[in-house]
Structure 1
Amino acid sequence: MGYALSATVTQAFAPTLEATRAALADQGFGVLTEIDLAATLKAKIDVDIAPQVILGACRPPLAHAALSAEPSIGLLLPCNVVVRSVDDETTLVEAMDPEVMVTLTDNAELGGVADDARQRLTAALASLTD
């Protein structure tokens, strides 16, 4: 089993980042955190990497259901979605596959939550390439 859902978008980084935020919102996710890896690494250790942002996406009903089934699941939340520039015209968008929660915890009660989250994230990523 892989650990990521992904979409390769034929579009520059900045508009893909905005489109990803919108696609997540369309699927009921809010972005709780945003980490600009390129800026952080430049500021902290003076290295340059291609533009890359981690979005911490959360859909509260899913988070609540997951926490109800597995109180320590907060360690794996929120759903991380990475938007990374490949080149000037190509951006890769990846999301942690929620099914990983089930395999890491060995808690079958998370199955329905993971399925719902996976369907929503897959739809969000698919909308970026339509």
Structure 2
Amino acid sequence: MGYTIQKTVFGDFDQVVETTIDALKDDGFGVLCDINVQTTLKEKLGEEFRQYRILGACNPALAHEGLNEDIELGTLLPCNVIVYETNDGGIVVSAVDPHRLLDVADNDALDSIANEVHDRFEHVLASVADELDSPSEA
């Protein structure tokens, strides 16, 4: 069983990242961190790597609700969304599946939050694909 939900699109990498950030914002998420893995690996290890970004996404209202249910939930936040190049010229936009992520908390009170985040991430991915006119399942 996978632990992400994703779409593959085609286009300019930086445009896909910006479109993803905009779609997250439209669905109530802020991007708390933006890690450029390609740059980091080059600087720290001298290694070449494909374009790859990790976006730490957080919906403050849902995070607040979750933290009120389980104070340790902060160890699982923010939810990561990644954007990376494929070998065939595509660009994958992938979000952690909140159901799988929150399964580790073993707290049924978090199920409704997982459902809400999952629905919003599905909407974000569909919005990115629609905006770039390249919808396909990965």
TM-score computed with the length of structure 2 as normaliser: 0.90
Structure 1 distance, partners of 2:30, 2:54, is 13
Structure 2 distance, partners of 1:88, 1:4, is 20
- Once superposed, what is the RMSD of the aligned Cα atoms? 1.2
Sequence identity of aligned pairs in percent? 41
Q: CA deviation at 1:117?
A: 0.6
1:97 and 2:127 correspond: no
Moved over 3 A (4+): none
Instruction: State the AA in 2 paired with 1:106.
Output: D
Cα deviation digits, residues 38-69 of structure 1 (max 9, x gap): 00000000001110010000100010011111
Structure 2 residues not aligned, in runs of 5+? 131-138
Contact conserved, 1:12 with 1:90, CA < 8 A, in 2? no
Structure 2 distance, partners of 1:75, 1:113, is 16
TM-score computed with the length of structure 1 as normaliser: 0.95
Q: Which deviates the most, 37-46 or 8-17?
A: 8-17
Q: CA deviation at 1:102?
A: 3.0
- Aligned 1:37-116 pairs, distance under 5 A: 37-87=37-87, 89-116=89-116
Structure 1 residues not aligned, in runs of 5+? none
Number of aligned positions between the proteins: 130
Q: CA deviation at 1:87?
A: 4.9
Instruction: State the AA in 2 paired with 1:55.
Output: L
